Amino acid sequence: MSFAGIKNAWQNLIWPWRPESNREAGSGIVANFLLHWFPNRVSLRSLAFSSSLYLGTITFVVFLVLAVTGVVLMFLYVPSVERAYWSIKDLDFAISFGWLLRRLHRISAHLMVALVFLHMFRVFLTGSYKSGEIVRSARPLNWVIGVTLLVLTLLLSFTGYLLPWDQLAFWAITVGTNIAASVPSVGEATRQFLLGGTIIGQPTLIRFYVLHCALLPIALFGLALWHMWRIRKDGGLAIVEQDRQEALTREPATPSKSKTYSVLGIASGTTVQVNDPTTLNEDNSRPSTPFLTVRILLVTLLTIAVSLGLALVVHAPLEAAANPEVTPNPAKAPWYFLGLQEMVGYSALMGGVIIPTLVILGLMLIPFLDREQKGIGVWFTDAAGRNWAVVGFLYGLLTTAGCLALAILAPMRSIFPGIESQAFFDLINPASFLLLLFATQYFVVLKRTKSTRYAAIATFCAFIIAFILLTYTGTSLRGPNWDFYWPWQAWPAHPTGL
């Protein structure tokens, strides 16, 4: 075979398509999905690290790491109550790189939960859920998709939590599903539907397995693609609204002599000068290839390197095999639910049902409650917004710490020893106080500033710090019997067999 023949065969193997005409080549590019991943040009503002911190990209890369490691794990894991735990032991001890797969999958899962929260914080704080005045985009819809993705990520993590079938898994899911059971009237039925029975067993394991490996990842992947496609359709990151504003204020270029092509032929005259705010020019943008692609490559490599590095250092714990007879003390839900578990300690109905429902609803409604269109894509909108963020942060710190102190030092039942009614304590407890304090804060800031954005910033910052404080308390400061322990206080020693 001649050299040309080999070359031809090779080309047929890697890229068999040969367009017959320029038109066919052009429409081929138009029809190509990969070439449409990124726009032709990308705004310098979008490209800057500070405007997005690339948190969405990082989250998606982590999701891909999870998908790849997860598929390999599916070949090695047996979803049966007899075998699940032992297959994890085999992964840890006997299977080549099994330990790495499991650690990488676990650390990436925790990273992904943390990253979607951080990404949401970024999108809120830069006001990127707003549609913009110049070109009305559907960013509010994309925010709602994003909140749905957050919920899906939590569900994925929660379903995956059960699979190792150790004490940690068994009791975290017990606690987690008990929170669901505290919903009045339908709670117990919901819990039975989730578990496939009254206690966690084989029906639960197979349900969680199928949800974790098939249904939820497919749903999340589909929604994530929609989420990212919408960014293209909405004209890029929200920060490009600033480019549009600038384009509007720019002096139109002076008309110059030119030739225009009309239906009848070449016509002389001046060019039509249009200030097109959506068009990026030479000064404020760069071609996506290579500027954006190299950036994405860098972020992808960094994300994988950090996950791998963490996986080499952080061990994936595996406790004793699941045992319904022995309840560990304390039994804790996965870390991102420990803020809720802390509040469930005050009132299951308030902390486990009303507050999470209000939080999810509140998050989804943000773009529809705050419709001001200034400072889109800019952190905290402006200097006043930054001040309100600090105020909200401090207010959240004080109120949350106060409510925690109240819960720890003076539980409601000791303040009102004479009252038996559960409904009373569901209504009057530190979690309700916190809810009330945050709602009050929103309306007070709204009244003072007449700005929904400032009120939202203040409340959201208070929410962030409350989430962090409550989660930290539930994770690190609660010991056996859910008693409070400072970080420097040792927990009572655990008895052992021998």
Partner 1 sequence: MAGSPDGTVRGGTMIKKITRREILAVLGTSIALIALMIAAFLHDSVPEWKYYQDEFGFIVTERFDDVDPAILPSGIQQVWVSKLERVDRCTTCHLGTTWKGLEEAEQPWTTHPRLEIFDDHPIENFGCTLCHGGQGFALTEYDAHGFVEHWEKPLLSDIAASDYDPRNPPSLHEIQCNFCHRYERSTEGMPAINRAKELVRSKGCKICHVINGDGGKLGPDLTHEGDKHAEGFDFSNLVSDQMTVFNWHIKHFQSPPTIVPGSIMPEMNFQSFEAQALAMLAMSWRNDEDLPRAYLPGIELKDEMTPEEIDRDQRMRTGDGAFFVEKSCFVCHSISAFDIKSPTEKGPDLSFAPDDVRARFNKTVEEFLFDPTGTMKIILESQIVLTDEEKWEATEKIMKAYDIVKNRSEDNEEH
Which residues here bind partner 1, judged by CB under 8 A?
Answer: 44-45, 47-51, 82, 86, 89-90, 92-94, 96-97, 99-100, 166-167, 242, 282-283, 286-287, 290-291, 294-295, 297-298, 301-302, 304-305, 308-309, 311-312, 317-320, 323, 325-329, 493-498
With respect to partner 1, which residue has the nearer C-beta, 173 or 458? 173
With respect to partner 1, which residue has the nearer C-beta, 203 or 290? 290
Q: How far is the CB of 373 from partner 1 (least distance, A)?
A: 19
Task: Report d(CA 322, CA 328) in Å as an integer.
Answer: 10
With respect to partner 1, which residue has the nearer C-beta, 199 or 297? 297
With respect to partner 1, which residue has the nearer C-beta, 260 or 289? 289
With respect to partner 1, which residue has the nearer C-beta, 298 or 439? 298
Q: How far is the CB of 291 from partner 1 (least distance, A)?
A: 6
Q: Among 441, 385, 464, 359, which Cα is nearest to 127's?
A: 385
Three-class secondary structure of residue 490 per DSSP: coil
With respect to partner 1, which residue has the nearer C-beta, 77 or 442? 77
Q: Is 141 exposed, middle or buried (0-12, 13-18, 19+ CB in 10 A)?
A: middle
Q: How far is the CB of 47 from partner 1 (least distance, A)?
A: 6
Q: How far is the CB of 419 from partner 1 (least distance, A)?
A: 32
Query: In this structure, what token pair is assigned to residue 30?
Result: 């138009």
| In contact, 108 and 66? CB cutoff 8 Å | yes
Q: Residue 230 corresponds to which amino acid?
A: R
Q: How far is the CB of 174 from partner 1 (least distance, A)?
A: 16
Q: How far is the CB of 253 from partner 1 (least distance, A)?
A: 14
| In contact, 303 and 61? CB cutoff 8 Å | yes
Q: How far is the CB of 463 from partner 1 (least distance, A)?
A: 27
Q: Among 378, 401, 396, 387, which Cα is nearest to 442's?
A: 396
With respect to partner 1, which residue has the nearer C-beta, 88 or 211? 88
Task: Report d(CA 161, CA 143) in Å as an integer.
Answer: 27
Q: Which residues contact 15 (CB under 8 A, 6 or more apart)?
A: none
DSSP string, 223-248: HHHHHHHHHHHTTSSTTHHHHHHHHH
Backbone φ and ψ for 261, nearest 5 degrees, come out as -100, 120
